[in-house]
Every structure is written in structure tokens, then in C-alpha cells.
Amino acid sequence: SVTLRYFCYGCLFTSVTWSVLLFLYFNLSEESRSFYRNVPIKGLQSQGFQHRFQPRFTRGPGPQYRDGGQNRKGQKPDLSPEMGMIFNEHDQEVRDMGYHKHAFNVLISNRLGYHRDLPDTRNEKCKERTYPLALPTASVVICFFNEAFSALLRTVHSVLDRTPAYLLHEIILVDDNSDLTDLKEDLDTYLQNNLRGKVKLVRNEKREGLIRGRMIGASHATGEVLVFLDSHCEVNEEWLQPLLTPIKKNRRTVVCPVIDIISADTLVYSPSPIVRGGFNWGLHFKWDPVPMSELNSPDGAVAPIRSPTMAGGLFAMDRSYFNELGQYDSGMDIWGGENLEISFRIWMCGGQLLIIPCSRVGHIFRKRRPYGSPGGQDTMAHNSLRLAHVWMDDYKEQYFALRPELRNREFGDIGERVALRQRLQCRSFKWYLDNIYPEMQVSSPNNKPQQPVFVNKGLRRPRVLQRGRLRNLLADKCLVAQGRPSQKGGAVVVRDCDSRDPEQEWTYDEEHELILAGLLCLDMSEIRSSDPPRLMKCHGSGGSQQWTLGKSNRLYQVSVGQCLAVVDPFSHKGYVAMAICDGSPSQQWQLEG
């Protein structure tokens, strides 16, 4: 329900650097590569081109997916848009199965391996900050269900690589009864061979869901602070110290990093704007702009920000305070609602919830959740009902006004949670709204929805790099809309070129979009990569609308990993399709002015 929109600010310079790095890698000694050899990881072993992308297993010497160590300000990391290129059927299968099972590009995730450098997305002022040396130790708890192996391992290694050892008490992995057998075996092998020591694995006998899963993880933890992460994250430079510092100062402080965006289609890591957590009366979490009144500290953009709610997945909390405050509601199942429940509880029962702008952790934002609940129940509704009945007093009516069908729905026994609220002598929901979330409108039904936080693409047009007709060199025809280009979109075909026809004019911009007649973007279906490309409204978030115009005249589609080809160059039908990039004449295109 949360849509993050963001710009691709210039992946332009990246491909050059990338090629240089690959070149260097090939020319490095056999010795540094033999490092990978005897590690049997299923599904990651492959021949041909792919051996270049085999993961690194420890942070030893040798090449890595580095950005040159410079992290030039405001730039994307050097991740080539062609990282997802498909070379054979095996690649295609990894990609398609990956989208099916995990809803992100697992092919790229595997190629990235378990370590990569990230752009340092912090404000410059953060880099000058210092933190006390004596800080509480952390137990990092990562609960997962059927996670893609490489994403899980990158989460773990990013923590090991970017956390001072003396602060990292342990990492606790909770396998929530995953049923992907490969994942189980691979993880066992990998943990035995590589991660003995700081990483512990707990397996749930049955599927518990992320809420009880985290409680189980926390019950095994012995560090002073609990840090929860989703299983597809990458922590950034100096992420932990700024989280631990405010907890050390006041143990009733719960802190969240800024959650940076890892694209599900390209795995590119980019900064998030500084926003804070809110919610709507449907009890969905949402991001809000930070009100001016909350920004007026002398430290401006880098001081902690009070947040009415948290997104849920990424936060740190004193372990004894977590227990004292009632952990989570163990009557909540699988997914949803626990984030608002713990947020309300923190504020109403004497704690505070802060977002720490100097701590950055990336998270893969997927467009759909790739799993359901075991019995197909709507666990979000079940969990929300529980939290509404325990914490929201009369304001639960706001929820029922939107979801009348839930008014009489069973939600199980909440006796213990009500008793907890009494025992902790928590304040009223009205107090919370008045003092912590005054922006929240208590509806009269005709209130306008609040402005979206993420900037609308239409407000800022990316710079045009090239303009002209898009001619296929073999067919000697140009790519056009099949009918008249309209707001609705539609198919594309090749037809005789006509230099005076404005409806044949494409623009190629710095965001790697191809826009026809200033109107619609060339777009690929992400679910069905076998479908031909089409024209769609521009969405501005790369992926399915991101193309590169290569040196060899190929037109490469970033999220699909294939090239645009004419199907039968001499047929009048003019059909086009995506195909494995092979440099053949049917795949050669020129954008000519």
C-alpha cells in the first residue's frame, strides 16, 4: 500500500566505471578468483559469463563491487543498468522464478553477491559526528520466510561488514518454517562453513508469522539492545552507532534508521527523503512530511525526528524495555498491524519513537508480497482489529466507518493486552492524537486526502539526451504506436519512417526513458517478460521503463534483461518483441534526429 516514488538521478556515468571494474577483475590473478571455488551453493553455480558474478564469501582481498571508494556526492553507485542482462535460458529461469517467488530481480541479486559497496547516502554533517565509544551491544534479529538466499546473505554480511565487532553481540536468524528446500540446505551449509560464531539460526517448527517470529528471535537474544531488520536489507556506513546513542541516553527511546530504497528491478540503492511515519484510518502505515515545528533544532537535517509511527521492519530498542513494554501482541498472525500497535504503545506508555537521519539502511521495496498466510486469511484485518480494540478507544469508530464489514468480526482474546495497557498505565488515544500526531484529521467524511510526500514526476522533467526517430537497421523501419498514440497507451510496431511525422518522434532522457510524441513511455510488463513492449503512462521509477541505447546499437531493457528486436523484418505486420541480446541485425536500432 505504500508506494515510494523516486528519481533515477543519473545512472549515466555508471556503465563506464562498471566496465572498467569488470575488466580489472578479469585481469586479476587466478589466485584471487580461486577463492570462490569449493563453495557449493545451489543455483548460484553456473557457467559462461556468469562466473564473473559469483558471490564473494568473505571480505578478503581481491576485487569487489566497489564504487571506487569515493561515493561521489549525489551519485548512484556504479551498478550497470545492464547488470540484469540475460545470456541464456538459465538466466531467464533464475529471473522469472525469482520474480515469481520473491517479487524482485533475483538474477541481479545473485550476481551482486553477498558484499557490495553502497553510496553513502547520509547528509555530509553526519560524517563529522562522533558517537560515544561505550555503547550498549546489539543483537540483530532477522526473521524470514522463503527469502531469496542471496538477499538474506547480503543482509547478514552487510551487518558483519559495517558494524564494529565489539558492538555486535550476535545476529539471530529466525527461519519462519520456510518451505523452499534449497534455501534450508544452502543456509545450513553456508552457516556451517562460513558463519560460525556470531550468527545463530533458530527454526520455527511451524509458520508463526513475522510477529511471533520476532518474539522468538528476541527470546534467544542476549545483547543489550535488539535491532530488528527485514531479510532483504543492506545496512549502510556507520549505521548502528547513531541508533545506539539515543538508547543509551534514555532506554525508553525506540529508534528507526532512514529506510533507503533498493529497487526491486535493478537493485540500485538510492537515498530516501527524510520523512516520518503516520497512518490513515484504514490503519495503513504511510509516510508524512516532517512538520517544520519538528525540524527546528540547531542540527537541522541530522537531529533525531520524533515520529508518530514506524514502518515496522527496521528499528532498535533496549531489550529489557522491549520485554517491559509487552514485546508484541502474540495473537497477531503472519503480517501487518504490529507496526502501528507498537508505535501507539511506545508513545502512549511513556516512551518515544525517533527517526535517526544519520543512520541509513536500505530495504528492497517490492510491488507485491510474494507470500500469503497459510489459511489464506486477511491477517492485516485480524491484527488491525486487535490493535483497534486494545489501543484506540472510541477512535476505532473511524476505522469501522471505513471497514463496516469488520465491525462484528472475531478477533480472538485481547484480555492480556488490555491488562498490559492498564498495568503500564498508558495514556489515552486522544492524548496520542493531540500530542504526537496532531496532523491526523478526525473525519468528517469529505476531507481531502493529504498531499502525497513523494514528488510527482510531472513536476520535474528529466533532461532530454537525444531526440528523433527510432529506426531498425535491418527492417529499415521506425518504431511507432500501432494506433494513434493516446493517453491510454497500446502496442508498438515498426512502419515506414517519415521524418516529418511528429508521432514518430522519440525522446531519450537522462532517466533512460523512451518517450513517444512527448506523451507515453516505452514500457515492459514486469510479470510477463515474454510480452512485447508497449506504450504506457510514464511512472518515473525506472525499471520497466528504463532502456539503454548501447554502442552496438542495441536497445536494452533494464528490468527484463533483454533487447528489442523486430520479429520478422520483412512482414508488413511490423511486430517487435524482446529477445536475448545477441547483436544480430534485427536488434539494431538508431535514434536519428
Residues that bind ligand LR7 (CB under 6 A): 2, 143-145, 147, 176, 207, 209-210, 213, 230-231, 259, 311-314, 334-336, 338-339, 363, 369
Contact call for residues 213 and 143 (beta carbons, < 8 A): yes
Residue 150 or residue 231: which is nearer to ligand LR7 going by CB? 231
Residue 550 partner contact from Mn ion, ligand LR7, none using kind-dependent CB cut-offs of 5 to 8 Å:
none
DSSP assignment letter at 544: G
Residue 247 partner contact from ligand LR7, Mn ion, none using kind-dependent CB cut-offs of 5 to 8 Å:
none
Residue type, 13: F
Count of other CB atoms within 10 angstroms of residue 12:
16
3-state secondary structure 497-531: CCCCCHHHCEEEECCCCEEECCCEEEECCCCCCCC
Task: State in angstroms the smallest separation of the CB of 141 from ligand LR7.
Answer: 10
Task: State in angstroms the smallest separation of the CB of 211 from Mn ion.
Answer: 14
Task: State in angstroms the smallest separation of the CB of 209 from ligand LR7.
Answer: 4
Q: Which residue matches cell numbers 553477491?
A: 113
* The C-alpha cell that represents 396 in the structure block: 476505532
Residue 209 or residue 351: which is nearer to ligand LR7 going by CB? 209
Task: State in angstroms the smallest separation of the CB of 563 from Mn ion.
Answer: 32
Residue 147 partner contact from Mn ion, ligand LR7, none using kind-dependent CB cut-offs of 5 to 8 Å:
ligand LR7
Give the three-state DSSP class for 277.
strand
268 HSE (CA, 13 A, CB side): 30
Contact with Mn ion (CB under 5 A): which of 96, 224, 230, 238? 230
Q: Interface with Mn ion includes 333 (CB under 5 A)?
A: no
Residue 178 or residue 562: which is nearer to ligand LR7 going by CB? 178
Residue 214 or residue 457: which is nearer to Mn ion going by CB? 214
Residue 144 partner contact from Mn ion, ligand LR7, none using kind-dependent CB cut-offs of 5 to 8 Å:
ligand LR7
Task: State in angstroms the smallest separation of the CB of 5 from Mn ion.
Answer: 18
| Residue in the shown chain whose Cβ atom is closest to ligand LR7 | 312
Residue 205 or residue 394: which is nearer to ligand LR7 going by CB? 205
* The C-alpha cell that represents 85 in the structure block: 542482462
Residue 57 or residue 145: which is nearer to ligand LR7 going by CB? 145
Task: State in angstroms the smallest separation of the CB of 312 from ligand LR7.
Answer: 2
**DSSP assignments along 112-139, one per residue:** H-S-------S-HHHHH----S----EE
Task: State in angstroms the smallest separation of the CB of 368 from ligand LR7.
Answer: 9
Candidates 98-106, 230-238, 512-520, 536-544; binding stretch for Mn ion (CB under 5 A):
230-238
DSSP E strand stretches across 510-592? 514-516, 520-523, 534-536, 547-549, 555-557, 562-566, 576-579, 589-592
Residue 380 or residue 492: which is nearer to ligand LR7 going by CB? 380
What span, in angstroms and rounded, lies between the C-alpha atoms of 308 and 287? Answer: 10
Task: State in angstroms the smallest separation of the CB of 152 from ligand LR7.
Answer: 8
Q: Which residue matches cell numbers 490503519?
A: 283
Residue 176 partner contact from ligand LR7, Mn ion, none using kind-dependent CB cut-offs of 5 to 8 Å:
ligand LR7
Evaluated on CA atoms 394, 397, 398, 400, the torsion sign reads positive
Residue 262 partner contact from ligand LR7, Mn ion, none using kind-dependent CB cut-offs of 5 to 8 Å:
none
Task: State in angstroms the smallest separation of the CB of 207 from ligand LR7.
Answer: 6
Task: State in angstroms the smallest separation of the CB of 275 from ligand LR7.
Answer: 10
Q: Interface with Mn ion includes 329 (CB under 5 A)?
A: no
Contact call for residues 142 and 231 (beta carbons, < 8 A): yes
Question: By rule CB under 5 A, what count of residues binds Mn ion?
Answer: 1
Residue type, 374: P
Buried b (16+ CB within 10 A) or exposed e, 360-380: bbbbbbeeeebbebeeeeebb
Residue 321 partner contact from ligand LR7, Mn ion, none using kind-dependent CB cut-offs of 5 to 8 Å:
none
Question: Percent helix, strand, coil in the chain (nearest 5)?
Answer: 30, 20, 50
Task: State in angstroms the smallest separation of the CB of 521 from ligand LR7.
Answer: 25
CA dihedral 47, 50, 55, 60 (to 10 degrees): 90
Residue 21 or residue 215: which is nearer to ligand LR7 going by CB? 215
Residue 287 or residue 547: which is nearer to ligand LR7 going by CB? 287
Residue 346 or residue 514: which is nearer to ligand LR7 going by CB? 346
Give, in order, the Cα–Cα distances in Å from 20 to each of 78, 104, 183: 11, 27, 34
What span, in angstroms and rounded, lies between the C-alpha atoms of 40 and 46? Answer: 11
Residue 239 partner contact from Mn ion, ligand LR7, none using kind-dependent CB cut-offs of 5 to 8 Å:
none
Q: Which residues pair with 142 in a beta bridge?
A: 173, 229
Task: State in angstroms the smallest separation of the CB of 39 from ligand LR7.
Answer: 24
Residue 278 partner contact from Mn ion, ligand LR7, none using kind-dependent CB cut-offs of 5 to 8 Å:
none
Residue 259 partner contact from ligand LR7, Mn ion, none using kind-dependent CB cut-offs of 5 to 8 Å:
ligand LR7
Residues in the chain: 593
Binding site for Mn ion (CB under 5 A): 230
